[in-house]
Chains A and B, each alone.
Chain A
Amino acid sequence: MDWAYFLQQLINGLTLGAIYGLIAIGYTMVYGIIGMINFAHGEIYMLGAFHSLITFLICQAAGISGILPLTLLLMLVVSMVMTSVYGWGVERIAYRPLRGSFRLAALISAIGMSIFLQNFVQIAQGARVKPMQPLIKGGITLMESPNFNVQLSYMQIVIIVLTFVLMVVFSTLIAKTSLGRAQRACEQDRTMAGLLGINVDRTISTTFVMGAALASVAGMMVTLYYGVIDFYIGFLAGVKAFTAAVLGGIGSLPGAMLGGLLIGLIESFWSGYLTIEYKDVATFGILVLVLIFRPWGLLGKPEVEKV
């Protein structure tokens, strides 16, 4: 067995998984708090990618793209802020009025929102694939073997480190702050939390904003990592991230990250060793298997049905 090749797939898989994990957190938080699949979340991620690309182009036009850290920071901040507004708006317009109503209604509304946002970006920015030049170049050669060098690019390091940092920050936010406590309370019982003086609406809005911010980071990283984006990237990434959330146990933050990493690894190894065409089939196959044998996911808690 070629260990160098294996190591390279592992690195690629972890990078991809980190991106899926960040999107999956948005799904898992929203599902945990209001129990719906936020179908438009993939589109939020796509909007994040577009915002970071446009911010970069503005930096370039302003002549500050030479200062790399500043440009990256601006891209990160601007896309997080702007995309959060979209996350907030989507909840406010399409989901809040339907909260407490019939469940499928919210799902259809979410699908409608997803179609709307996709086409909105397609019309506003064109259907063509948008190229992005690599900003973070180079890397470390980890291992040299006769026919294959294992590369760990700086971009991959940035992605993994940034994801890790964000995970720590958000976990602390959920575990330690009053906002996190409010969120966990709403997750357990919204009515009771409301009675005890928690502003439920605001807590849910914050959840959407946080999810959107993380998704926009994922979008920015994809823009930088792959160098191409289009208006359609949200759908598949969204479905896979949801798969990751379910795999890890929906409602669980570490679960979402773990699920994302696993999906990334499965995809990367499948395309590295088997067929690249059927990598999506592998992802969904795993999902089906997990749901059949462990419907509550890897880190989730089994739900007891009450009469």
Chain B
Amino acid sequence: MSSLLTSSRVTPVDIAKELAFFAVLAVMMSIMILGVETVDRPTGLELALRWDLVLLAVCATVVGRLGLIVRREHLSRLLQAALIVISALMVFEMFVRFRDLDDRWVSPVTFDMATQSVGRAIFFICLIAIVFAIAYFSSAKGRPTGDEDESNKISARLQVAYRTNTKKVGMLGIAFFIIFPFIFGENRSAIDLATLVMIYIMLGWGLNIVVGLAGLLDLGYVAFYAVGAYSYALLSQHFGLSFWLCLPMAGLFSASFGIILGFPVLRLRGDYLAIVTLGFGEIIRVILINWYDLTGGPDGIASIERPSFFGLADFSRRVPEGVTRFSDLFGIEYSSMHRLIFLYYLILILALVTNFVTMRLRKLPIGRAWEALREDEIACRSLGINPTNTKLSAFAIGAMFAGFAGAFFATRQGFISPESFTFLESAVILAIVVMGGMGSQIGVVLAAIVMIGFPEMFRELAEYRMLIFGAGMVAIMLWRPRGLLSFRDPTILLNMSKKEKVAGEKS
């Protein structure tokens, strides 16, 4: 028996030690924050105990770690079976085994539901389990580093398929987005969601120029988005300019902001640049909040003009004298969906323009200079490329697209406030770019759908949404550190047959 148990490198004692260690850690991490709740009372804060949650956290951790051990070590069959039985027992413990006063089996989860905090426990269990399952990657014996294409066979195969068919995938994607409103024509929330995702796709593509192509880490991208949104809102409110006139102006303003902000700081290297851009993002937000006379402060700007149909017709039900109604222009019945669908196509076109411009720029000398600069700045300098101007152009063009997206955002919402331009937005956009696989246009689309689409669909989860969002960001990075569609070939190579060699190496 004992020989059977010890036929592998690890003994049950080792496993028990490891489990005990992680159980102690789980207790330490959860005992205060989860185990004790601070309750507001008129007399001050009071405590409420929630030991069941600590128990759940410990069970989840141990189960997660057990699963990990089973996957990591080459255990004997018997030991594996034993561990699986133990984890099954613990899962049973977590979900089933509580016995209430009437001698019925009640799980702590349902038990928790009875005491008003519905399903709270479920999420804690899931999340803690996820987090600790992630620890699989972190086991020192398991894998050396994060880059592990071979172990992800499915995604590797997908990647190969994608690489050979990039154009087709792209065309299919565009076709899908074009016919999208015809499929979901009457579904208001679907169109809304698609529009939102599209805004982030556009922002992601814009930031991709800065981060993916030029390799400049920008944590304050949302500042340019804000500049675009506020320039449209203010121009339209104070000067009565139409959306179509303001759109290029918003882009122009944002681009000039990019140049003004970029000029002093673009000499800095990676992380310093990141923190300065983060600082700029915050400065712009603070100014928006405090410059009450101009921006309305925290109240924001309300009733921003909606876009017209290229100045020809209006989407409202009741239109003023002398203005054509959209439905009359085409002789169709009025529907409030027309405006939404129009907005959807508008952002789709804007996004595609961003994509098209990026793809063309990549083939121009400036685009190649960006990619070269990303790979090796010193080499570029020695070849006569002016790094500051090159970086500045990437910064300005990226900012311009953010400005367009901002103007669109303002006209779509009809209301803007500094709330919409927090650091979290910058982080989300950057996460979309990095998760997509930097420099990959289709990767951005995928990541935007994952990051924006899914959380929006699960809006009922309310407060758990951002929790899962954060954990998801970590998990995706651990799973694929280089992004969902990760490769970083220079767009043009001297000798194209070398492409396969170059792909996938170097950071």
Chain A residues at the B interface, C-beta cutoff of 8 Å: 31, 36-37, 47, 50-51, 53-55, 57-58, 61, 78, 81-82, 85-86, 88-89, 92-94, 96-109, 111-126, 128, 130-133, 201, 235, 239, 242-243, 246, 275, 277-278, 280-281, 284-285, 287-288, 291-292, 295, 305, 307
CB-CB under 8 A from B146, the residues of chain A are 97-98, 100-102, 105
Enumerate B295-340 residues with CB–CB distance to A below 8 Å.
none
Interface SS, A side: helix
Contacts between chains A and B (CB distance < 8 A), count:
212
In the assembled complex, the Cα of A288 lies from the Cα of B435 at a distance in Å of 29
In the assembled complex, the Cα of A113 lies from the Cα of B274 at a distance in Å of 18
Partner of A101, one of B140, B264, B481: B481
Task: Give the Cβ gap from B349 to chain A, nearest Cβ, in Å.
Answer: 30
Task: Give the Cβ gap from B266 to chain A, nearest Cβ, in Å.
Answer: 10
**A239 and B37 form a contact (CB under 8 A):** no
Given contacts A85-B25, A201-B140, A288-B276, contact A112 B135 (CB under 8 A): no
Q: B482 contacts the other chain (Cβ, under 8 Å)?
A: yes
B-side interface size class: 35 or more
Enumerate B421-463 residues with CB–CB distance to A below 8 Å.
423-424, 427, 430-431, 434-435, 438, 463
In the assembled complex, the Cα of A111 lies from the Cα of B275 at a distance in Å of 13
In the assembled complex, the Cα of A150 lies from the Cα of B203 at a distance in Å of 51
Lowest 10 CB-CB distances: which A-B pairs, in order? A112-B473, A116-B470, A115-B470, A284-B279, A101-B146, A105-B481, A119-B467, A112-B474, A109-B477, A97-B137
Given contacts A93-B131, A115-B427, contact A108 B33 (CB under 8 A): no
Partner of B38, one of A53, A100, A108, A201: A53
9 contacts between A and B (CB under 8 A): A97-B134, A112-B470, A118-B470, A119-B467, A119-B469, A130-B38, A131-B45, A288-B264, A307-B378
Q: B245 contacts the other chain (Cβ, under 8 Å)?
A: no
CB-CB under 8 A from A132, the residues of chain B are 45
Chain B residues at the A interface, C-beta cutoff of 8 Å: 25, 28-29, 31-34, 36-38, 40, 44-47, 120, 131-132, 134-135, 137-138, 140, 143-147, 211, 217, 264-265, 267-272, 274-276, 278-280, 282-283, 286-287, 289-290, 378, 423-424, 427, 430-431, 434-435, 438, 463-464, 466-467, 469-474, 477-478, 481-482, 507
In the assembled complex, the Cα of A292 lies from the Cα of B388 at a distance in Å of 13
CB-CB under 8 A from A288, the residues of chain B are 264-265, 276, 279-280
**B278 and A105 form a contact (CB under 8 A):** no
Partner of A85, one of B28, B289, B477: B28
Partner of A50, one of B33, B217, B431: B33
Task: Give the Cβ gap from A69 to chain B, nearest Cβ, in Å.
Answer: 21
CB-CB under 8 A from A81, the residues of chain B are 28
In the assembled complex, the Cα of A292 lies from the Cα of B262 at a distance in Å of 11
Nearest residue (CB) in A for B488 is: A102
**B29 and A112 form a contact (CB under 8 A):** no
Given contacts A81-B28, A292-B265, contact A104 B471 (CB under 8 A): no
